[in-house]
Amino acid sequence: MSTATQAESQTDASRAVPELIRVEDVHKYYELGETRVHALRGVSVAISRGEFVAIMGASGSGKSTFMNLLGCLDRPSSGRYLLEGTDVSQLDKKALAAIRNRQLGFVFQGFNLLSRTTALENVELPTLYAQLNKEERLQRAREALRTVGLEDRMDHFPSQLSGGQQQRVAIARALVNRPSILLADEPTGNLDSRTSVEIMDVFQELNDHGLTIVLVTHEPDISRFAKRTLLFRDGKIRRDEGVAERPRAAEVLKAMPKVED
């Protein structure tokens, strides 16, 4: 594709379907007493619909801070963040909460499920803040659980589920309000290697169906399953490249030995 046609198609696309995420020269610093800690030092990146991006980097590289900004849990100190064409970098807390509710889905390292609340109710949680009626809420929650293959575990409590199953519940929760982007912060950090690949299989499936996924990980084995990797170091993106020879998690699973308990 020539540069001219690319530019042209992009303008067309930005009118019809704008880039999902556009981050322009974003800085983030924290005031810690006298000293100013610079977590992000000018990050610019664009992510389109349907991408599967893995963010890599050592701890302290700024990847978590970046993830919090993408997730609208925090606001940049300077720079712009456009989400689906709207500048969200200076919105108030209430508007950010609405964006987290409708446009974003979160998956955490520690699952962050509410204990003593069933899988179904955990998945239902984001719909409670979305002005949906009871029937629609339950229907969506069941549907989301079905998507992650846990329709037979709806009434189980987190303590009755394995780590992998808990993370699937968390993924279902992230999907329930039909977000544009799924943000996953070290989703396999607490899981053994086979379960990790199982989770990546879920992610690949979802991505195949058009869901945009941004994933933070420090494990190169996990980042291989994404389509694109961003490497953070010292608050900047040092490398941005596509993944060559991307394996299918489903294939990898077949080759892996089953761990017997």
Partner 1 sequence: MDLLSILRIAWRALARNKLRSGLTMLGVIIGVGAVIAMVGVGQGASQAVQEQIAAMGSNVVFVASGTVNRGGLRLGWGQTKSLLYDDMRAIVRECPAVRSAAPGAMTTAQIVFGNDNWFTNVQGTEPQYFEIRDWTFAEGAPFTQVDVDAAANLAIIGNTVRQNLFGATEPVGQVIRIKDLPFRVVGVLNAKGESAHMGQDQDDVIFVPITTLQKKLTGDTWLRFIVVSAVSRQASYVAQQEITALLRDRHRIRPGQDDDFMVRNLADIAQLADQSSRVMTLLLASIASVSLIVGGIGIMNIMLVSVTERTREIGIRMAVGATEEDVQRQFLIEAVVLSLMGGAAGILFGVGASLLITRLLGWAVLISPMAIAVAALFSAAVGIFFGFYPARKAARLDPIEALRFE
Restricted to residues 130-149, the positions that interact with partner 1 (CB under 8 A) are 130
Contact 215, 204 (CB under 8 A): no
Residue whose token pair is 């924290």: 30
Restricted to residues 43-102, the positions that interact with partner 1 (CB under 8 A) are 68, 71, 73-74, 93-94, 97-98, 100-102
Q: Which of left, alpha, beta for 25 (phi over 0: left; psi -120 to 50: alpha)?
A: left
Restricted to residues 220-249, the positions that interact with partner 1 (CB under 8 A) are none
Q: How far is the CB of 92 from partner 1 (least distance, A)?
A: 10
Pairing of strands 228-233, 212-216: unpaired
Both tokens assigned to 189: 């950090």
Whose Cβ is closer to partner 1: residue 15's or residue 93's?
Answer: 93
Q: How far is the CB of 16 from partner 1 (least distance, A)?
A: 27
Question: 62: helix, coil or strand?
Answer: coil
Restricted to residues 155-214, the positions that interact with partner 1 (CB under 8 A) are 173, 177
Both tokens assigned to 213: 């996924």
Q: Which of left, alpha, beta for 178 (phi over 0: left; psi -120 to 50: alpha)?
A: left
Residue 106 sits in the site that holds partner 1 (CB under 8 A): yes
Q: How far is the CB of 208 from partner 1 (least distance, A)?
A: 25
- What residues make contact with partner 1 under the rule CB under 8 A? 68, 71, 73-74, 93-94, 97-98, 100-102, 106, 108, 112-114, 116-117, 125-126, 128-130, 173, 177
